[in-house]
Structure 1
């Protein structure tokens, strides 16, 4: 049995949470990306906008290298990280394209992203990206499809500069199906994705529209990322590890160890009488909360019934945690449930 990995997404949280916001910002800022707005860039001179954007890009790439260094010092079972999609603000926006295409900027990007890739490979860190919800490859609106393709290829460019995307699933870049055309719309645009993009793309079930069965319609093209929290909301029940669809999901990874996503609804359910030891049943929850309230992520993995349930998947899946406390949520879970497996 492979040692399972668990990872966190995009941002670093310092463990001393009792510090002031100013102190935490100072401690965390060197690991986390920054951004700006198009409105601000339009309000200043072109030179000022470019200087600010270059400063942000330099900070973001240095921060990701620093974050990779942090992850590289963790136990093997925690060397898994979702990189931020915000490293290069507005990279796919027509107004900003010329900035990134400048030879001096492009040379710097290649240098820094190469360092990121080398750092990750040397430390054996499993990496991923997750373009935002506005990346809608299955839209019925041509302009949305074009923007979505550009946004996904922005991620493919970062993957390529890091030295990944050369073989099937050497790095995961995950999207939801999304859009009125759904899976069939994705098939229509599939050939327009670069080889790097096709090597890395995965499709994750969502909680509202396109569930596990919809993602499995694309399993011949790309792996399916099982999100057990989304599946629970979508189907009003917990998918079991012996569900035949789980075998199909594993098969979609073609021999690469699959990744699943794991989250829990917010801790405030405890104030409504739901305990950490209790199985969260949808019928009981919907008597006191709106279903949309369950879409939100918890700070940490507070419900131990659900933790025990999720652990059943670790013999076959690595797990990306989606929790507000990021690395702290993963560390707590690892110490409680997985540290003995690596001893």
Structure 2
């Protein structure tokens, strides 16, 4: 994995966004995960709950394989995908986990995830996970920590069944430093993570509390995922690709090609006078919007100036795009930077 990669997250989007919602659902549904609710599962008999869960899991494993097959036919640079965290609903929940221990279901998971891993390796697709923001390893609440560890190990179980987690960063499972105890609290639970979890975990800077400098305090344990959008919001400036801290991020990957995250604020900024060819400067933006307005991700990578900036990192980083239009956004970004890659 030495050539540049551009990835997208979790779901397939059809390029023609002008189709009706019904038409889009019919096209996209086979590629994307489904779920159910804990309330519904508790409202029916155990047999009905189990049947629904098996139905959802069967669909999700097939959908993930179908999405990987789509990625496998893309140009090599675009063979990078964040897998959905919702493949196995409520896997880490105490009221549901026993269902997944049923021998028949357990074997279905083993076979299904093995097929996903085999396809990813045969097609040279770089995979990752990103547990949700409720995974708070640095919480001061012991119950939250226990639930967070269980949630992370849920991802480790999927990684293990796919045949990854056997060596350092053969698959990335990314979290934010979160919780009042922050770096100290996260470091304290490190010995409790499984070997697979420790091989795959990365720490990403956020836009609110724990920035790049906090993540670099964890670099002796795990790689740092540089999110350039979060950093821009947190610090108000664009970090230079050759900045010393960027080199420290690269060093934290210990010879593995680093992954960074890239997103943009929403397209509606254009209605406020910020053109696609204009550099987005924090001082000017904060005169008309709040910093919180900049958190949300755009549909596409609409600002060409920011794309040019991000493309400067491709020499040494793979880039995971976080945009609402998923693969459509990655295809457009790839088209914009293809000349640089060539």
TM range (shorter): over 0.9
User: What residue is the counterpart of 2:191 in the other structure?
Assistant: 191
**Residue by residue, what CA displacement relative to the aligned partner does 1:12-46 show, whole Å, maximum 9, x if unpaired?**
00112121110100000000000011011111111
* Mapped partners of 1:142, 1:154: distance in 2: 18
How far did 1:283 drift?
A: 1.1
User: What residue is the counterpart of 1:260 in the other structure?
Assistant: 260
User: What residue is the counterpart of 2:131 in the other structure?
Assistant: 131
* Mapped partners of 2:338, 2:264: distance in 1: 18
Determine if contact 1:2/1:315 at 8 Å carries over to the other structure.
Answer: no
User: What residue is the counterpart of 1:98 in the other structure?
Assistant: 98
Determine if contact 1:3/1:341 at 8 Å carries over to the other structure.
Answer: no
How far did 1:2 drift?
A: 4.3
How far did 1:341 drift?
A: 3.0
Structure 1: stretches of 5+ with no match in the other structure: none
Alignment of 1:52-91 (within 5 A): 52-91=52-91
* Mapped partners of 1:88, 1:141: distance in 2: 26
- Residues 1:201 and 2:201 are matched in the alignment: yes
User: What residue is the counterpart of 1:296 in the other structure?
Assistant: 296
* Mapped partners of 1:340, 1:296: distance in 2: 28
How far did 1:59 drift?
A: 0.2
How far did 1:279 drift?
A: 1.0
* Mapped partners of 2:52, 2:210: distance in 1: 40
How far did 1:3 drift?
A: 2.7
* Mapped partners of 2:78, 2:239: distance in 1: 25
* Mapped partners of 1:109, 1:28: distance in 2: 23
Corresponding residue SS for 2:220: coil
**Residue by residue, what CA displacement relative to the aligned partner does 1:121-155 show, whole Å, maximum 9, x if unpaired?**
00000000000000000111000000000000000
User: What residue is the counterpart of 1:28 in the other structure?
Assistant: 28
**Residue by residue, what CA displacement relative to the aligned partner does 1:181-232 show, whole Å, maximum 9, x if unpaired?**
1111111000000000000000000000000000000000000000000000
Structure 1 stretches of 4+ with a deviation exceeding 4 A read none
Q: How many pairs are equivalent?
A: 342
Corresponding residue SS for 1:150: helix
Please tell me the root mean square deviation across aligned C-alpha atoms, in Å.
1.0
Corresponding residue SS for 2:30: coil
How far did 1:336 drift?
A: 2.0
Corresponding residue SS for 1:13: coil
User: What residue is the counterpart of 1:329 in the other structure?
Assistant: 329
Structure 2: stretches of 5+ with no match in the other structure: none
User: What residue is the counterpart of 2:242 in the other structure?
Assistant: 242
- Residues 1:310 and 2:310 are matched in the alignment: yes
TM-score, scaled to structure 1: 0.98
* Mapped partners of 2:149, 2:95: distance in 1: 17
Corresponding residue SS for 1:191: helix
